[in-house]
A and B are shown apart, each in its own frame.
Chain A
Amino acid sequence: MKPPRFDYHAPASAAEALELLGRYGADARLLAGGQSLVPLLNFRLSAPAVIVDLNRAADLAYIREENGRVRLGAMTRQRAIEFSPLVKSRLPLLAEATRWVGHLPTRTRGTIGGSLAHSDPAAEYPAVATALDTEFVIRARTGERVVRVTEFFVGLMTTAVQPGEMLVEVRLPVLAPNSGWAFEEFSRRRGDFAIVGIAAMVTTEGDRCRSARLAACGAGPAAMRLRGAEEILEQGGLDDRYVDDAAARAAELVDPSADLHASVEYRRHLTRVLTRRALKHAVDRARGAGAQPRRS
């Protein structure tokens, strides 16, 4: 099918976009990379009166490092993230996950802000943001607020972004010393949404686990942090038996539902297998990093 009629605006800046959002309120829908919204329009599952297209707002696309965080403009393309040397060296978890986000031709258009604001339960970026201590910059005509990841993902395809507001930037912490990361996923076909995906980040302190971060996608109404599994590693350590215990705990913590792709039991099973795999990979990387102190 074809999209229904809508009024179309293509503001040249974030400020102009916020003016339009203020003017049209709940009638307006923001169009980012369009890899989720345009299918909804084509199938007439969404029929907004007004489309505010952000693709010409050049001030919303950038990647820069500042104060121990990498700031990404909401309209930064997934493809730009994929080929960014800064992301590769400072945000290797994001770089690794990006290879699982759709296909090269969809990453050409798809954006990080669009993916996070859409919050598809099976999408990779919300899991990465949840595994890291991500800050979200949300702006309205009247001002700006910074929301922590713990408050950003509210429920099924629902975020803290309110009508009249827009996600303009995300700030991800750069890789800490002695840290390892991994993103593992299972999908039926490369590039499909995850049946389950796991993001892991561990930081070691000698033989101890200083901190562990685990998040899942495809295993609940939104990306979810697996705090109970993290605690097993932080209290016990990173030996295989604690990794196995954490993986088993992760499978209990997730809240999957059944659909035509997978049953609840299968998603729990995948959570366990992928958590174990991700943790082992992350621990190897952290120990490799610790064995070779970085020269500065």
Chain B
Amino acid sequence: MAEPGKIRMTVNGQAREGWAEPRRLLVDFLREDLGLTGTHVGCEHGICGACTVLFNGEAARSCLMLAVQADGADLMTVEGLARDGKLHPLQEAFWEHHGLQCGFCTPGMLMAAYDFLRVNPDPTEQEIREALSAVLCRCTGYQGIVRAVKAAAERMRTRLGDDMERNRAPGAG
């Protein structure tokens, strides 16, 4: 059972399949077999966080998972953040606040921040800093990243409020 087997999964809303031997890491399967090179592979021991993806809706290190473990799973990579050519509020905020220089850690930062803001939509700066310690950046000094996540959190809360306002039936409020 060390031979390649067929695996199927949903990635960014699309059904994908491929062959993987058991030792194939999920990050390598995403990059090399599915061609999704937005997810980066850095340290390969779960420290740098560049390979962070959403696994069944929760952030996880794809260098610490085997591709076969994702058989049947629902994945989201950094390529899944933008919708219809429009950047996600997190991506917009990283752009506006200089949340990246070389960009190597950025997919990990974005996916870790996405998961973090879902469990903590209104974080303090200290909480943001602690959450971002899950991903290493070697060029920005983190300041821009912290500001970007803070700005994105505010924007996402406002948009959520706007959406709720819009969806409210006339006279219901």
Contact = CB atoms under 8 A, between A and B. Distances in A.
Contacts of A291: none
B23 A103 contact: no
Contact of B1 (A9, A83, A189): A9
Given A105-B115, A105-B134, A5 B2 contact: yes
Summarize B's interface: helix, strand, loop or mixed.
Answer: mixed
A3 B64 CA distance: 11
A141 to B, nearest CB: 20
A25 interface: no
A1 B55 CA distance: 23
A58 to B, nearest CB: 13
Interface residues of B, number: 32
Contact of A39 (B22, B45, B58, B134): B45
Residue of A9, A105, A106, A190 with most chain B CB atoms under a 10 A cut-off: A105
Interface string A57-100: 00000000000000000000001000100000000000000000
Nearest to B133: A190
Interface in A102-125: 103-106, 108-109
Contacts of B115: 104-105, 108
A105 B134 CA distance: 7
B46 A108 contact: no
A6 B64 contact: no
A214 B122 CA distance: 35
Interface size class of A (residues with CB under 8 A): 20 to 34
Interface of A: 1-10, 34-35, 38-39, 41-43, 51, 53, 55, 79, 83, 103-106, 108-109, 189-191
Interface of B: 1-2, 21-23, 25, 28, 44-46, 49, 52, 55, 58-61, 63-66, 68-69, 112, 115-116, 119, 129-131, 133-134
14 contacts: A1-B44, A2-B23, A3-B23, A6-B23, A8-B66, A8-B68, A34-B66, A39-B45, A42-B45, A83-B119, A103-B133, A104-B134, A108-B55, A108-B58
